[in-house]
Amino acid sequence: MDIRDAIEDDAERLAALADGPPDVMRNLVHDRTVRVAEEDDSIVGFVSFDAERGTVHVTQLAGSSDACEELLTDPIEFARREHMTVELLLPEDESQVRTAVEAVGFTSTGNGPRFDGQETTRYRLEPERAEH
């Protein structure tokens, strides 16, 4: 699996993975750090993140459990270097992503806000506890 920076031309595939509009994904590529996982020249997952006030926020994470585990390495390493924590919100129905998040050491810190009527769980990772 290869990990690389996302480019605007990736927007259609990112939209398909995230079940969202391509225009939103194009904006995401410009506004956040976005990394994609590729296998056999096909995008199999992506992560977007940014940093603010001592915390790296994973804003989107999609793909297989293996791809998500690999993709989380970048925000975790960034947080470790900058002595920050990492947080993300995960919709209740994303079991593959949840498996990856928990496998790399994130722990649930309780309920997050509802998005489009769907419950979320807030996850947090202290960088010195990260496995990667």
What is d(CA 27, CA 55) in angstroms, rounded to the nearest whole number? Answer: 22
What is d(CA 124, CA 116) in angstroms, rounded to the nearest whole number? Answer: 22
Domain boundaries, the chain: 2-129
CA distances from 45 to 4, 36, 41, 50, 83 (A): 11, 6, 12, 18, 26
Q: Which fold has domain 2-129?
A: Aminopeptidase (3.40.630)
Q: What is the pLDDT of residues 24-48, one digit of tens each?
A: 999 999 999 999 999 999 999 999 9
Q: What is the pLDDT of residues 43-99, one digit of tens each?
A: 999 999 999 999 999 999 999 999 999 999 999 999 999 999 999 999 988 999 999
What is d(CA 7, CA 95) in angstroms, rounded to the nearest whole number? Answer: 27
User: Residue 129: which pLDDT band, with cuts at 50, 70 and 90?
Assistant: very low
